[in-house]
Structure 1
Amino acid sequence: MKRAMWINADFSRRVVVSGDAWDWVASPQAGVERVMLDRIGGEQARATSFVRYAPGSDFPAHDHPGGEEILVLSGTFSEGGKDFPAGWYLRSPPGSRHRPASAEGAVIFVKLRQMRPDERAWVRLDTRDPARWRVDGDRRRCDLFANGDEAVCLLALAPGQPLLAAAAPGAEAVVLEGAMLAEGQRLGPGSWLRLPPGTHSDVVAGPDGATVYLKTGELGLWAPQGAP
C-alpha cells in the first residue's frame, strides 16, 4: 500500500507556489508528470496539480469517483475522441470515466475529488470564445461553474485591481497571463495561490494586469478528515 501524502492540507493557511518554482515528479504512467500543489491521500487522492503530458502519452481508462476539473493551459488535451486545445475548461462529475491522452503534448491544471457527491454537471467550454466574457463591475469575467458551495471563473484584471472584490470563505487562483502581487511577491504565469477566508487586499494585479483562474468557496469542504 502506498503511503498517504499530506501536501498543503491545512486550508486555514495561505499557500503560494510561484510559476518559476514548479517541481515536476513522475506519475505512475510513462510520459505523464505532475506538480503536486495540494494533496490528501495516496495515489488515489484528493489533489490539486499541474499535469504535463509528453507528446503521444496517455493514461489508461479510469474512474473519477469524486469528480475531476481541468483547465487546459497549453497544448491539446484529448478524451473520448475529442480534442481540447489550450483555454478549454472541462468538469466531469463524480462517477465519470475517461481515457485521457495528448498527441502533441499538453499541460493542464487538475482538481480531483473536490466535488459534492450529488453533483451531476458536465461542463465543456472554450474560455477563448469572446462571447463567454462579460463586464462585471470594473473587471472582465468568464463564468465556468457555480453552485451553493463554489464559484469558478476566469478574471481579466487591470493593473492594481484586487483579486477579490469582497471577502470570500476561501479562494484559489492560477495566474494565466500577466502577474499578480501578493505580499510584495510577483507571481507570474503558472503561479498558484490558495487563500483562507478573508478579503486579502494585498493580492492585486501587477503593473501590466493579469488574467487568472479563480475559485471561491469553502475550499476544504470535501477534504478527508485527519490531516496532521
Structure 2
Amino acid sequence: MLNMNFTEKVVINTQEQPWLASPHAGVWRKPLAREDAERGHATSLVKFEPGASFNEHDHPLGEEIFVLSGSFSDHTGDYHAGSYFRNPEGFRHAPFSKDGCILLVKLHQFQSGDNEHLIIDTTKTSWSPGMGNLMVMPLHNFQGESTALVKWPKGERFQPHKHFGGEEIFVISGEFMDEYGRYPAGTWLRSPHLSEHFPYVEQETIILVKVGHL
C-alpha cells in the first residue's frame, strides 16, 4: 500500500520522483497512491515512450486520465496535452502513444452508477468565472464529487476554507501556495475531509482539482 490513509495529508513533488518501470515495455510510472502493485485504487503519473502500447483491457471501477504532455491514442482517436478522459467500467481500449506522452491516471475510483464515457479537450473549452477572480472549467460532477480546472490570476488570494469530502490537486502550471508551503508545477496534494487552508499564488497558476470524494 502507498498513501491509502485518506485522513492524512499527502504532498508529492513528482518532479523529484524517479520513473519506475511498469510490467509493460516502454511504459513508466511515478506512483502517488496505490492499493496494490497492479490492481485496485491507484493514482500515478504514467509515461509512454514513443511507440509504447497496451493490449486491450477493461478498467474495473473506471479510469480517469489527464494528458499532461505529448499525445495519447486509442481506437477513438489521438489526444494531445489538455485532454481529459473518464473511461467507465466496461469501456475497453488498447491505448498507445505514437510520439510519447505523460499522463495523470486514476484507476478504480468511480462511484457506483457513474458510467459516463467522457472526453474533453480543455484547450478548446471555455473558462467560466469562479469565486473572486478565479476562472473555472468544470469537467465532471457526480453525487457530490466534482473535478475541474481552476485558473488563478497572478497575485490572487482565496479565502480560508474547509474541504468537505477532501480535496485533491495536481499543479499543472505555475506555483500554488498556502500557509503550509509552496507547490510548483508537477506537485500532487491530497487533503483530507474537513482540512482547511488559505491558498494563494504569486504567478498565474492552473490546477486540476477534485473535491468531495474522500
TM-score, scaled relative to structure 1 = 0.87
In the alignment, structure 1 residue 176 sits paired with structure 2 residue 184: no
State how 1:79-98 maps to structure 2 within 5 Å: 79-98=74-93
Q: 2:15 & 2:159 partners in 1: Cα distance? A: 20
- Whether the 8 Å contact between 1:57 and 1:101 is mirrored in structure 2 is yes
Judge which range, 14-23 or 179-188, deviates more: 179-188
Judge which range, 116-125 or 45-54, deviates more: 116-125
User: When the two structures are aligned, how many residues end up with a matched partner?
Assistant: 212
In the alignment, structure 1 residue 201 sits paired with structure 2 residue 189: no
The residue that corresponds to 1:222 in the other structure is none
SS at match of 1:101: coil
Deviation at 1:162, TM superposition (A): 3.7
SS at match of 1:20: helix
In the alignment, structure 1 residue 191 sits paired with structure 2 residue 187: yes
Q: 1:19 & 1:51 partners in 2: Cα distance? A: 11
Whichever residue aligns with residue 189 of structure 1, its letter is A
SS at match of 2:203: strand
Q: 1:135 & 1:173 partners in 2: Cα distance? A: 19
Deviation at 1:205, TM superposition (A): 3.3
Distance change in 2, residues 1:195/1:43 (3 Å): same
Deviation at 1:183, TM superposition (A): 4.3
SS at match of 2:197: coil
Q: 1:89 & 1:130 partners in 2: Cα distance? A: 11
Distance change in 2, residues 1:162/1:13 (3 Å): farther
Instruction: Encode CA deviations 1:78-131: one digit per residue, 9 max, x unaligned.
Output: 011500000010101112211110000000000000001322101101111242
Deviation at 1:150, TM superposition (A): 0.7
The residue that corresponds to 1:224 in the other structure is none
In the alignment, structure 1 residue 60 sits paired with structure 2 residue 28: no
Distance change in 2, residues 1:164/1:193 (3 Å): farther
Query: RMSD over aligned Cα, in angstroms?
Result: 1.7
Distance change in 2, residues 1:8/1:163 (3 Å): farther
The residue that corresponds to 1:36 in the other structure is 31
- Whether the 8 Å contact between 2:163 and 2:211 is mirrored in structure 1 is no
SS at match of 2:151: strand
SS at match of 2:41: strand
Distance change in 2, residues 1:218/1:125 (3 Å): closer
Q: 2:179 & 2:131 partners in 1: Cα distance? A: 25
The residue that corresponds to 2:131 in the other structure is 137
Question: Runs of at least 4 residues of structure 1 off by over 6 A?
Answer: none
